[in-house]
Amino acid sequence: MVFGVPYGCACMPQCTAKSKQSQERCKKDACVGRNVCHIHGGKTRQGVATTNYRHGKYSKFLPLTLAADYQRARDDPDLHSLTDEIALSDARLCELLRRVEHNDLGAAWTHLDAAYQTFQQRRSTGDVAGMGKALSAMEAQIGRGKADYLLWREISEQVKLLGTLRLQEHKRLVDLESMMTAQQAQLFFGLIQQAVHKAVTTYADTDSARRILAAIQADLVRLAGRAVDDARVLAG
C-alpha cells in the first residue's frame, strides 16, 4: 500500500463535470475527495480551506442583484477556464467585422470631396445658405470617417484581446497537463512498488528480498513525508 492506496488500484472515479459546449461528461479522472478533475476545479480549495471563507470574502458587501451571480461564479467548476471569454471575444470581433461590410469609407471620402467643392462654389458666389448646407454635408462625412477609424481601432483592440485570452488559456491547459494529481501520483507509485516487489522477489532470496523491500518501503514513507511538508510550505 502506498499513501493509503492498495497496490494496482485503478478505481479512479470519473469527473462528473460536463463540457459547456458539447454537454458531454468529462472523461478525466476526478481529484481525490472531489467529484471533478483538476481542469474543472478539483484542486480549488473549498469551505474553510479557502482564503475567503465565511460565504465569500466580498459577499456581505454585494447588493442582492449581484449576490446570486457572485455565488454562482464561486461555485462554477470551470471558473478558471477562459473558454467562454474567448468565445465572447470572438463573437464581438465578428460583429465588428460585419459593420465594416456596411461602412464604405471610399464613398464617404468621395462625398466629402464633393461637399467641399460645393462649399467652395457657394463661397465664391457669396451664397451663405449654400455654404451652410455644404458644411453640414462635410461634417456628416467627417463623422463617417471618424466612426470608421474608431471601428478599426476597436477591431485592433479586440484582436489583441482575443490573442491574449487564447495564449492564457493555452498556458493554463499546458500547466494542468504537466501536473500530476495526488491520485495519479498514488497510482504511479503503487505501480512502481509492484514492479520493484516483483523484481526483488524473483531475483533475490527470501531473507534478502524481505530486507530490500523493507528498506524501500521506509524510503518511500520518508519521501512521502517530505513531499507533504514541502506542499504545506508552498501553500503557506
The predicted-structure confidence for 125-155, as pLDDT tens digits, reads as follows 888 898 888 888 888 888 788 888 888 899 9
CA distance 25 to 36: 10
Domain-located, residue 139: yes
Count of domains in the chain?
1
Which residue range forms the structural domain that includes residue 125? 104-175
Domain-located, residue 150: yes
CA distance 158 to 94: 10
Span 44-97, pLDDT tens digits? 655 434 444 445 566 666 677 777 777 777 777 777 788 888 888 899 888 888
Are 38 and 80 contacting, i.e. CB atoms less than 8 angstroms apart?
Answer: no
> Can you spell out the DSSP letters for 15-35?
P--B-TTT-PBP-SBPPTTSS
Please give the grid coordinates belonging to residue 131: 455654404
Span 193-214, pLDDT tens digits? 888 888 888 888 888 888 888 8
Q: Which residue has the cell 492506496?
A: 5
Domain-located, residue 190: no
Are 121 and 95 contacting, i.e. CB atoms less than 8 angstroms apart?
Answer: no
Domain-located, residue 159: yes
Q: What is the pTM of this model?
A: 0.42
CA distance 105 to 147: 10
Domain-located, residue 171: yes
Neighbouring C-beta atoms of residue 115, cutoff 10 Å? 20
Domain-located, residue 118: yes
Domain-located, residue 97: no
Domain-located, residue 125: yes
